[in-house]
């Protein structure tokens, strides 16, 4: 008698001793208000006693920006690179701004980053407020594109890519550890950009992105995508930042390459809140995570009868596997703004260690998928997620059942119709992985049948 053994050994835990682990900082949305101590042009309410580090109703005074960058250096100076995802000009009317003012702000923050991290490359992208007039990014060369390209020449450090930046404010670089960084200009897809609204591929960025992902596959490279405005749905408010035809096209390109395992993660800003999403492959298995960093500015929006919640300033430190580009963990640092103002000093402390706070192995897509399923059953995890969303502000708003459903559905639905279908059903577990579960179960049955037939024939 012959015996046949089918041994399948699966290990999904981290093997840190075998990993070459690197670190990088991600900072976003500094929003410097040069009028903070005078006219308070960014403030959405009257502020009679402005704190030295800022106020929840206003954009950042310079001291907050300087302090946040210096604290990043104090916490961990030996990083492989920095991600800086834009929005440096305050929420101020164009009546009080100009090209020179906006470029002066960008130059000051560029200088501050270079002063604190002189030997560390920063992979920077522009935010919608970094252009003048506000939000109106063109699809071709402009004075602002030229001036920013000159500022960031040493970081991009490639003549071809600097020329590309001058014509569309996007670029590609390769890190010293071989990770391909695609710095996108997603402001040209934003619903507030009236210049590009009727275009199909502004600045040719969609075609270029498709080519870059194809080349990465052919060259066996791993890709990190970074930009200011994220694609998909911002929840729980269910906001689509992109024009729908641009969001559809972006997702179409990602779907074209999603099964190739070239994209390791995406990193964005803009939302002024902490969050993540998950992109899935065509068969429903996980592909890569999308991370949105909270802002340094504490500014809360106010429009008509709607008022956004207060939130504390924050920056994040991310560990990753240098060999694969896969993210490993996120350490979120923040200050309690009222305490900092009261004490006349900041205390940048750890808000959370992601893997410890959520009890996950790492922050790769498979781990975030498991966390998402746990959130379905344990709503206290969503409460924690919602607390972190506003960077542990005191007395945070509560998240009701509709809010929780929107967040759960938003983790994996990146189009308005898909999100609406999910939230209306209220059954957030009806997700892409259902197909994968059935597929893998069927494959297991087929394997067992083949082994049984082979046994009978021998």
4 lies in some domain: no
pLDDT of residue 456: 52
Same structural domain, 360 and 418: yes
Please say if the pLDDT value at position 429 is more than 60. no
How many angstroms separate the Cα of 75 from the Cα of each of 72, 296, 316, 347? 5, 16, 11, 11
| CA distance linking residue 198 with residue 201, whole number of Å | 9
Same structural domain, 341 and 443: no
- The string of pLDDT tens digits covering residues 16-72 is 457 899 999 999 999 999 999 999 999 999 999 999 999 999 999 999 999 999 999
Show the domain range for 436: 432-458
For residue 358, which of 373, 348, 343, 342 has the smallest C-alpha distance? Answer: 373
Q: Compute the mean pLDDT over every residue in the chain, rounded to the nearest whole number.
A: 92
Residue scoring higher pLDDT (17 or 191): 191
Report the side by side order of strands in the sheet with 222-226.
171-174, 179-183, 222-226, 263-268, 286-292, 275-280
Same structural domain, 106 and 152: yes
pLDDT of residue 427: 57
Same structural domain, 87 and 228: yes
**Count of beta carbons in the 10 Å neighbourhood of residue 454:** 11
Mean pLDDT for the stretch of residues 178-190: 98
pLDDT of residue 305: 85
CATH number of domain containing 85: 3.60.21.10
pLDDT-derived band at 437 (thresholds 50, 70, 90) equals very low
Same structural domain, 326 and 457: no
2 lies in some domain: no
Same structural domain, 400 and 440: no
How many structural domains compose the chain? 2
- The string of pLDDT tens digits covering residues 279-293 is 999 999 999 999 999
94 lies in some domain: yes
* In contact, 259 and 281? CB cutoff 8 Å: yes
pLDDT-derived band at 303 (thresholds 50, 70, 90) equals confident
280 lies in some domain: yes
């Amino acid at each position: 008698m012959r015996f046949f053994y089918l041994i399948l050994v699966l290990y999904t835990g981290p093997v840190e001793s075998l990993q070459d682990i690197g670190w990088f900082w991600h900072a976003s949305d500094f929003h410097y208000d040069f009028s903070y101590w005078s006219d308070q042009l960014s403030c959405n309410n009257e502020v009679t006693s402005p704190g030295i580090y800022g106020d929840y109703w206003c954009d950042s005074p310079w001291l907050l920006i300087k302090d946040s960058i210096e604290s990043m250096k104090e916490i961990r100076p030996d990083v492989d690179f920095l991600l800086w995802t834009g929005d440096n000009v305050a929420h101020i009317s164009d009546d009080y701004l100009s090209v020179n003012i906006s470029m002066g702000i960008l130059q000051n923050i560029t200088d501050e980053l270079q002063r604190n991290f002189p030997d560390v490359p920063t992979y920077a992208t522009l935010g919608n407020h970094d252009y003048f007039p506000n939000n109106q990014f063109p699809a071709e060369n402009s004075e602002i594109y030229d001036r920013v390209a000159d500022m960031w020449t040493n970081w991009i450090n490639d003549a071809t890519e600097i020329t590309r930046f001058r014509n569309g404010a996007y670029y590609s670089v390769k890190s010293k550890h071989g990770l391909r960084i695609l710095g996108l200009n997603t402001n040209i897809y934003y619903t507030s950009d009236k210049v590009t609204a009727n275009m199909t591929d502004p600045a040719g960025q969609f075609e270029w992105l498709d080519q870059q992902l194809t080349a990465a596959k052919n060259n066996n490279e791993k890709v990190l995508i970074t930009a200011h405005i994220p694609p998909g749905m911002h929840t729980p408010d269910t906001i689509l930042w992109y024009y729908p035809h641009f969001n559809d096209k972006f997702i179409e390109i990602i779907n074209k390459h999603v099964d190739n395992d070239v994209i390791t993660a995406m990193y964005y800003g803009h939302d002024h809140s902490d969050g993540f999403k998950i992109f899935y492959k065509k068969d429903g298995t996980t592909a890569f995570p999308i991370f949105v960093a909270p802002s340094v500015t504490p500014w809360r929006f106010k429009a008509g009868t709607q008022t956004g919640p207060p939130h504390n300033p924050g920056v994040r430190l991310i560990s990753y596997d240098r060999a694969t580009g896969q993210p490993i963990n996120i350490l979120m640092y923040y200050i309690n703004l009222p305490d900092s103002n009261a004490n006349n000093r900041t205390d940048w402390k750890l808000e959370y260690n992601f893997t410890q706070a959520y009890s996950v192995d790492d922050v790769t897509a498979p781990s975030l998928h498991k966390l998402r399923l746990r959130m379905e059953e344990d709503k206290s995890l969503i409460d924690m997620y919602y607390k972190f969303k506003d960077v542990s502000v005191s007395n945070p708003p509560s998240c009701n059942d509709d809010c929780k459903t929107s967040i759960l559905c938003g983790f994996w639905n990146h189009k308005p119709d898909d999100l609406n279908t999910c939230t209306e059903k209220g059954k957030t577990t009806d997700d892409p992985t259902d197909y994968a579960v059935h597929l893998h179960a069927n494959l297991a049955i087929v394997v067992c049948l083949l082994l049984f037939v082979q046994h009978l024939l021998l």
